[in-house]
Each structure stands twice: as C-alpha cells, then as structure tokens.
Amino acid sequence: QVQLVVSGGGLVQAGGSLRLSCAASGIIFSIKTMAWYRQAPGKQRELVARITTGGSTSYADSVKGRFTISRDNAENTVFLQMTSLNPEETAVYYCNVVAGLSSIWGQGTQVAVSS
C-alpha cells in the first residue's frame, strides 16, 4: 500500500507563488502516474496537473504556463510549483497516485489566495 504525505500550501497574495510537495512511501515500485487535483468550495474536484513515470506532463488549460509539476523518482516525491496565483484558485489541493490498480489520495492542503 502507498501512503502519501502532503506539505506546502498556505496563504498567499494574488500574483504570488507556492510550492506543494507530496511524498510517497510503501509499495512505491507500483506507482504509475502522480497528479494534483483541487477542489474549490462548492465545486467539483478537478485535475490540475499530472506526471507519468516517464516524466510526461499534462495540465489543466487554466494553469498552463503558470504551474509546473515535477517528480523526484529517487525520493518518490511529486511537486507542484504554482506561480501567478489568483483568488479563484483558492481551494483544497490533493495529491493523487495511481499505483497498480489503485488510486490513492493524500490529505488535502489548503491554498488560499487573497486579492
């Protein structure tokens, strides 16, 4: 079983930057994709960015050019560097890992962007 520990998040002013981290432990050899999702109040959870084992990345259109997902395979950690944040991106951000046939969620971390 894979366990995820998320760090980062917090309060930032509009236009600011934050970096999220998600460290995986457990049966890490089975990890395929690692991703970040977010859920704003009253909205559905949405995919923000995803990275494959081989390093291929994909992003939601709304974050392209501002967010960067990266992965440290040696540390089994995925990062999300967020820049030029706007208040509409206030949400709980979640790390997700697909390992084997399982989809595993980390605890959410609050990102609040003030105007």
CA distance linking residue 84 with residue 115, whole number of Å: 12
The pLDDT-based confidence of 100 (bands split at 50, 70, 90) is: confident
CA distance linking residue 78 with residue 68, whole number of Å: 10
Per-residue confidence (pLDDT) for residue 4, from 0 to 100:
93
Rg (CA), the chain: 13
The pLDDT-based confidence of 99 (bands split at 50, 70, 90) is: confident
Mean pLDDT of 108-115: 97
What Å distances lie between residue 24 and 6, 83, 92, 97, CA to CA?
Answer: 9, 24, 19, 8
The pLDDT-based confidence of 32 (bands split at 50, 70, 90) is: confident
Edge to edge, what strands does the sheet with 18-26 contain?
2-7, 18-26, 77-82, 67-72
Average pLDDT, whole number, for the chain? 94
The pLDDT-based confidence of 20 (bands split at 50, 70, 90) is: very high
In terms of average pLDDT, the best of 19-28, 45-54, 69-78 is 45-54
